[in-house]
Structure 1
Amino acid sequence: MATNTAKKTPETDTAATTEDTVAARTERTARTPDKEVVGPPLALGQEPQTVTLAHHLDIEDKSFMPGDEIQVAPAYARHLHNQGFTTRT
């Protein structure tokens, strides 16, 4: 069994670390779209696409009916379109 011999260094400034974490969390919250993005997560800088489903679809244990509008990552929107799950627009 291997043993990690690296020494742990104490954090130098926990107040700065906490402020950075709060700032990052606030930025993530500000970028969150109105609707929940289903399927694969968005890459940095991507905007979600709204698609209208043409068929019943289960994604992540959630059931979506024909005509439902969902927000997905652009690559997933292309995948759903190629598979025939989205309406023609």
Structure 2
Amino acid sequence: MATNTTTRKPSAEAEENIEPATETTEARPERARRTADVVGPPLGDGDEPVPVTLSHHLRIDGVDYLPGAGISVSPDYARSLRGQGYVART
């Protein structure tokens, strides 16, 4: 497979129109924000967090949760965790 070794210079118009990209929390949709007490995917519209107790070690978003840890998750994520055997039977 051949590669192109020439560099392409941007046009003068493109250089003038370059603006730094800034994103604030106001620019993100409300449902994409995650509350501090919910672990995993964000809650859907009108959903309430579901408390679950883990039966196995689970790593979510770079945080380790040991067996027996109680966490709050979205109802869809709780259903998924139950189906995979991560939720302890009570």
Amino acid at match of 1:73: S
How many residues in Structure 1 have an aligned counterpart in Structure 2?
A: 58
Unaligned runs of 5+ in 1: 1-20, 26-31
- 2:86 maps to amino acid: F
Q: Which has the larger radius of gyration?
A: 2
TM-score by length of 2: 0.60
Distance in 1 of aligned mates of 2:71 and 2:60: 11
In the alignment, structure 1 residue 75 sits paired with structure 2 residue 76? yes
Residue ranges of structure 2 left out of the alignment (5+ in a row): 1-25
* Offset, 1:85: 0.3
When normalised by structure 1's length, the TM-score is 0.60
Matched, 1:60 2:65: no
Q: Greater helix share, 1 or 2?
A: 1
**Identity, % of aligned positions:** 52
Question: How many Å separate the matches in 2 of 1:45 and 1:78?
Answer: 17
The match for 1:40 is: 41
